[in-house]
Amino acid sequence: MTELLYGAMLPAPGFHHLHLNSVDPDRAIDFYVQQFPRSTRTRWGGLPALAAPNDVLVLFTKVATPPATSPQTAIWHFGWHVTDTRASLRTYQGRPDLELLPLYTTEEGGSVLVSSDTWPSMGRTPGLTRAQIAEARARGVQPTWTGGFGYMRGPDDALVEYAGNRPAERFNHVHMFQDDPFCAQLWYQAHLSAPVFAGRTPGAPATRR
């Protein structure tokens, strides 16, 4: 019976919350509600929280000093789906207190604010290699000017991605740094029964070996 219990796989869990430190949780929540208006202010477990439309929470713990962002923590950024990236960008550009962050497109320092303003990606990568950029330039490849993703600086120096065009606004992902992403993926599969996201896996199935 013990072997059966330990060998049985639990059903895949849902994602419950992202937990952040903040010097001013109320101000941080106000910021996110303004940028993502389908989210709402709430509380959970005695903590101030932001509730996303898809039953995901962002919890906040008040701290006396700004949370460290260097050296880099395991969390790189978190992402939110929006229904129209470019409409969101225009709205954000009209808010002088909101800092939008550049996506660098060339070694010369060229940048855009949304990924659909540069050459479209090829295959499964979010961008182009140097050789692919040279080829795109030579061929006169044009941006799609539709959808795409961009970044903003959130409260407490959090990095926040907005991406579309999606059917509904919602919390989408937590993006983490890993020394070995495929080993990390196997860990979450083994210990949390996390399903593999289609299109974000190696060509050959990853194994512990």
Note whether residue 1 is domain-resident. Answer: no
Residue 185 lies in a domain: yes
Angle made by CA atoms 143, 148, 150, in degrees to the nearest 5: 115
Spatial separation of the C-alpha atoms in residues 181 and 74, rounded to whole Å: 12
> In total, how many domains does the chain have?
1
Q: Is residue 209 part of a domain?
A: no
Residue 31: which of 94, 91, 125, 97 has the closest Cα? 97
Provide the domain limits for residue 24. 12-69+78-192
Classify residue 109: in a domain, yes or no: yes
Residue 121 in any domain: the answer is: yes
Numbers of helices and strands, H then E, in the chain: 5, 11
At 166 the pLDDT is: 96
Domain membership flag for residue 2? no
For residue 189, give the 3-state DSSP assignment: helix
HSE-CB for 195 with a 13 A CA cutoff: 8
Q: Does pTM top 0.75 for this prediction?
A: yes
Residues 6 or more apart from 193 whose CB is under 8 A from it? 9, 10, 11, 12, 13
Residue 51: give its domain's CATH number.
Answer: 3.10.180.10
Residue 117 DSSP class: G
Name the stretches of the chain with pLDDT < 70: 1-9
In a domain, 113, yes or no: yes
Burial environment of residue 113 by CB neighbours within 10 A (0 to 12, 13 to 18, 19 or more): middle
Q: Report DSSP letters for 47-66, one per residue.
A: EEEEE-TTS-EEEEEE-SSP
What pLDDT was estimated at residue 75? 92
DSSP 121-185: P-TT-SS--HHHHHHHHHHT-----SSEEEEEE-GGG-EEEEEE--SS-EEEEEEE--SSHHHHH
Q: What is the pLDDT of residues 146-205, one digit of tens each?
A: 999 999 999 999 999 999 999 999 999 999 999 988 889 899 988 888 888 877 777 777
pLDDT of residue 7: 52
Interatomic CA distance for residues 159 and 131, integer angstroms: 29
Tell me, yes or no, whether 99 lies in a domain. yes
